[in-house]
Amino acid sequence: MNKITLAGLILTTLSVIMVIIVGIFYSYSGPALNPIVNEVLRYSFLFWLPTLLIGIILIGPKKRN
């Protein structure tokens, strides 16, 4: 496994973890969260799909010589 494929696997795993955590916190109905946590969640939701797509592209088939 080369470094690019490993980076793709890490990015794909990270994006899945990001969307799970965002889903958990958006369904949270307790007391108000820290504003910093809200900003992190907003950016995580915004960037999980591009992170997933880049990860899949990096995992994709490579040309072999």
Instruction: Report pTM.
Output: 0.78
**pLDDT (tens digit per residue) in 20-40:** 999 998 888 888 888 898 888
Whether the predicted pLDDT of 54 surpasses 80: yes
Ranges 2-6, 13-17, 45-49, 58-62: which has the least confidence: 58-62
> Is pLDDT of 15 > 90?
yes
User: For the chain, what are the domain ranges?
Assistant: 3-59
| HEC string for the chain | CCHHHHHHHHHHHHHHHHHHHHHHHHCCCCCCCCHHHHHHHHHHHHHHHHHHHHHHHHHCCCCCC
Residue 12 pLDDT: 95
